[in-house]
Amino acid sequence: QKEVEQDPGPLSVPEGAIVSLNCTYSNSAFQYFMWYRQYSRKGPELLMYTYSSGNKEDGRFTAQVDKSSKYISLFIRDSQPSDSATYLCAMSAYAGGTSYGKLTFGQGTILTVHP
């Protein structure tokens, strides 16, 4: 079993829809939870990160972490064609200081938002 599981999709939605992307994980030591967006043939770009449980909002994006269920989500409101990309979740057991440890990634979900 992989440490981080992510449904690869693909996911296709109409413009303006609310998109929900999810990951589950098995390692209880994970403390930092990240979401990345990756356009074709480019490096991933960090969208948001959350420390421990809770919600974080940034514009049209909301990240949620439920450590009791080992489940994280990214919601995209009012989705746009420019949101079409691969979305990757990643997790780390980093607990502060300069010992950052490993980032473990999900498979990535391919999202297409059509006009």
Instruction: Choose the binding region for other proteins from 14-22, 52-60, 64-72, 86-94 (rule: CB under 8 A).
Output: 86-94
* Binding mask of the shown chain, residues 6 to 45, with x at each position contacting other proteins by CB under 8 A: x-x-----------------------x-x-x----xxxxx
What CA–CA distances, in Å, run from 26 to 2, 4, 5, 51, 111? 8, 7, 9, 17, 25
CA distance 13 to 84: 10
- 53 token code pair: 């449980």
Q: Which of 1, 58, 99, 115 binds other proteins (CB under 8 A)?
A: 99
Name the phi and psi angles at 89, rounded to 5: -95, 155
Distance CA 76, CA 60 (A): 6
114 makes contact with other proteins (CB under 8 A):
no
Applying CB under 8 A, does 74 fall inside the site for other proteins?
no
Q: Which residue(s) pair with 55 in the sheet?
A: 64
Nearer to other proteins, 16 or 55 (CB): 55
Binding site for other proteins (CB under 8 A): 6, 8, 32, 34, 36, 41-46, 49, 51, 88, 90, 94, 98-108
